[in-house]
């Protein structure tokens, strides 16, 4: 990939800050495209390891994004349900999981299929779930039909249930497991904001491939210093395989580019991402960390692993995630995003600087939180995190 060095040089020296807390697709001013195309996707993909898997994963995530976009446009209150832990789930979460599971199994028939995914069909098998199941089945079939190929058969409700329940694998350190969050950021999705379809592949407990479809993320940088964009286009697909870099293309497939994290080394010029939902990550703690670092820009709060995608192309320099006491992180919330960022040159670790361990099943056991940044900023970020956590502990 001959353009990589040039792209890196071009990206180096960019100062990226974010002006204010940012809300997704309504009224946002987006900036001029800051990335440019390298070679056509077919060339990029064919020279990579896991190229068959990547092609299937990109197709599955893109189709799932289409299904989600259709639902988000016309979201009905009856499409939103509550799970036993009170978190929301919609027909699009189920439909996306069914679709991705169906496409992966169908496109990769020669491999044993194991999927660790967020949703299960329990509520859809109840009497009260029958109308929802019909709606999901319609959505899946409409989306397959919109592919324009006659090669997909129409799925029955039973086949949709089976496809969803394919996601029951436990993962672990042996063999290959797909890891799927069919909609990451369901709260953002329901609000009309950011969300992502996040699909990763584990091999012997390590993430080797990741795809993030972010239907509402502008193609242009969301950094504040590039606000005069000629394009308002939204919909990004990020993808990465181990050792081969991270890429972004438009969800409609029109452009591709290699992406790199920012090269900023002065924390004062950095901006940081965190969850939109204060219940998912302590905004107080991240504000204390940012203050210690000398970060001047206000936090950029967006939902989902779109944060990892935006960071991988240098829109911001840091992602801070500090769940409140008692919450256990799940692998599907980080698998795809973490490889996209690490292949873009960034570092993803827990708050103590340890790499994330995806080999222990569904859960990620992390010390205190997850932090993401580039290589240069990581030492000072770790120091600030340690100080902020110590201060918090001594104030309790």
Please, what is the minimum distance in Å from the beta carbon of residue 93 to Mg ion? 6
Active-site choice (7, 137, 186, 262): 186
Asked if 36 is part of the footprint of ligand A3P (rule: CB under 6 A), the reply reads no
- Considering only 79, 105, 184, 343, the residue that binds ligand A3P (CB under 6 A) is 184
User: What is the DSSP annotation of 165-217?
Assistant: HTTB----SSSEEEEEEEEE-HHHHHHTS--EEEEEEEETTEEEEEEEEEEEE
- Considering only 43, 145, 279, 367, the residue that binds ligand A3P (CB under 6 A) is 279
* CB-CB neighbours of 76 under 10 Å: 10
What residues between 193 and 252 interact with ligand A3P by CB under 6 A? none
> Is 357 tagged catalytic?
no
Size of the site for ligand A3P (CB under 6 A): 19
CA distance 264 to 375: 10
CA distance 196 to 185: 7
Please, what is the minimum distance in Å from the beta carbon of residue 134 to Mg ion? 22
Active-site choice (79, 93, 303, 350): 93
Residues 6+ apart with CB under 8 A from 339: 200, 207, 208, 209, 210, 240, 241, 242, 246
Which of 280, 292 has the CB closer to ligand A3P?
280
Asked if 87 is part of the footprint of ligand A3P (rule: CB under 6 A), the reply reads yes
Of Mg ion, ligand A3P, none, which one does residue 279 interact with (CB within 5 to 8 Å by kind)? ligand A3P
Q: Across-strand partners of 348?
A: 372
Asked if 333 is part of the footprint of Mg ion (rule: CB under 5 A), the reply reads yes
Please, what is the minimum distance in Å from the beta carbon of residue 96 to Mg ion? 9
Which of 119, 343 has the CB closer to Mg ion?
119
CA distance 13 to 15: 6
Which of 263, 320 has the CB closer to ligand A3P?
320
Asked if 53 is part of the footprint of Mg ion (rule: CB under 5 A), the reply reads no
Of Mg ion, ligand A3P, none, which one does residue 327 interact with (CB within 5 to 8 Å by kind)? ligand A3P
Size of the site for Mg ion (CB under 5 A): 7
Q: How far is CA 148 from the centre of its chain?
A: 27
Residue 55 DSSP one-character state: H
CA distance 207 to 347: 14
What residues between 115 and 154 interact with Mg ion by CB under 5 A? 118
Q: Are 212 and 198 in contact, with CB atoms under 8 Å apart?
A: yes
Asked if 129 is part of the footprint of ligand A3P (rule: CB under 6 A), the reply reads no
Of ligand A3P, Mg ion, none, which one does residue 345 interact with (CB within 5 to 8 Å by kind)? none
What residues between 169 and 188 interact with Mg ion by CB under 5 A? 181, 183-184, 186
Residues 6+ apart with CB under 8 A from 266: none
Give the residue numbers of the binding site for Mg(2+).
118, 181, 183-184, 333
CA distance 204 to 61: 23
What residues between 287 and 306 interact with ligand A3P by CB under 6 A? 303-304
CA distance 225 to 153: 48
**Candidate ranges 27-35, 259-267, 277-285, 375-383; the one touching ligand A3P (CB under 6 A):** 277-285
**Pair of tokens at residue 369:** 């939180």
CA distance 256 to 4: 12
Asked if 329 is part of the footprint of Mg ion (rule: CB under 5 A), the reply reads no
CA distance 344 to 334: 15
Q: Are 136 and 94 in contact, with CB atoms under 8 Å apart?
A: yes
CA distance 27 to 11: 27
Asked if 361 is part of the footprint of ligand A3P (rule: CB under 6 A), the reply reads no
Q: Are 207 and 192 in contact, with CB atoms under 8 Å apart?
A: no
Asked if 186 is part of the footprint of ligand A3P (rule: CB under 6 A), the reply reads yes
Active site residues: 93, 186
Positions in the binding site for Mg ion (CB under 5 A): 87, 118, 181, 183-184, 186, 333
Positions in the binding site for ligand A3P (CB under 6 A): 87, 118, 181, 183-186, 188, 275, 277, 279-280, 303-304, 323-324, 327, 330, 333
């Amino acid at each position: 990939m001959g353009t990589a060095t040039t792209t890196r040089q071009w990206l180096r020296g960019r100062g990226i800050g974010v002006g204010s807390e940012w809300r997704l697709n309504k009224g946002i001013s987006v900036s001029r495209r800051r990335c440019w195309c390298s070679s056509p996707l077919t060339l990029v993909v064919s020279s990579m390891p896991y190229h068959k898997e990547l092609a299937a994963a990109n197709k599955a995530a893109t189709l799932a994004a289409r299904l989600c976009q259709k639902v988000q446009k016309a979201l009905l209150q009856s499409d939103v349900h509550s799970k036993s832990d009170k978190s929301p789930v919609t027909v699009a979460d189920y439909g996306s999981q069914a679709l991705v599971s169906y496409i992966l199994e169908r496109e990769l028939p020669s491999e044993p299929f194991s999927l660790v995914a967020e949703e299960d069909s329990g509520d859809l098998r109840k009497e009260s779930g029958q109308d929802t199941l019909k709606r999901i089945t319609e959505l899946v079939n409409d989306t397959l039909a919109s592919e324009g190929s006659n090669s997909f058969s129409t799925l029955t409700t039973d086949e949709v249930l089976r496809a969803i329940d394919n996601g029951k694998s436990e993962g672990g350190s042996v063999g290959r497991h797909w890891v799927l969050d069919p909609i990451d950021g369901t709260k953002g999705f329901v609000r009309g904001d950011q969300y992502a379809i996040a699909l990763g592949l584990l091999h012997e407990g390590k993430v080797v491939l990741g795809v993030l479809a972010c239907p509402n993320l502008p193609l242009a940088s969301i950094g504040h210093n590039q606000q005069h964009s000629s394009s308002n286009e939204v919909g990004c697909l990020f993808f990465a395989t181990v050792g081969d870099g991270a890429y972004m293309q438009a969800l409609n497939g029109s452009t591709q580019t290699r992406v790199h994290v920012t090269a900023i080394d002065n924390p004062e010029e950095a901006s940081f991402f965190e969850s939109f939902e204060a219940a998912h990550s302590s905004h107080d703690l991240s504000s204390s960390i940012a203050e210690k670092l000398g970060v001047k820009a206000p936090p950029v709060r967006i939902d989902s692993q779109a944060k990892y995608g935006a960071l991988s192309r240098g829109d911001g320099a840091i992602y801070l995630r500090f769940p409140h006491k008692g919450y256990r992180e799940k692998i599907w919330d980080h698998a795809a995003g973490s490889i996209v960022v690490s292949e873009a040159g960034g570092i993803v670790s827990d708050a103590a600087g340890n790499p994330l361990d995806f080999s222990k099943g569904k859960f990620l056991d992390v010390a205190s939180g997850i932090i993401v940044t580039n290589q240069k900023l990581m030492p000072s970020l770790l120091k600030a995190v340690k100080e902020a956590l110590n201060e918090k502990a001594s104030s309790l």
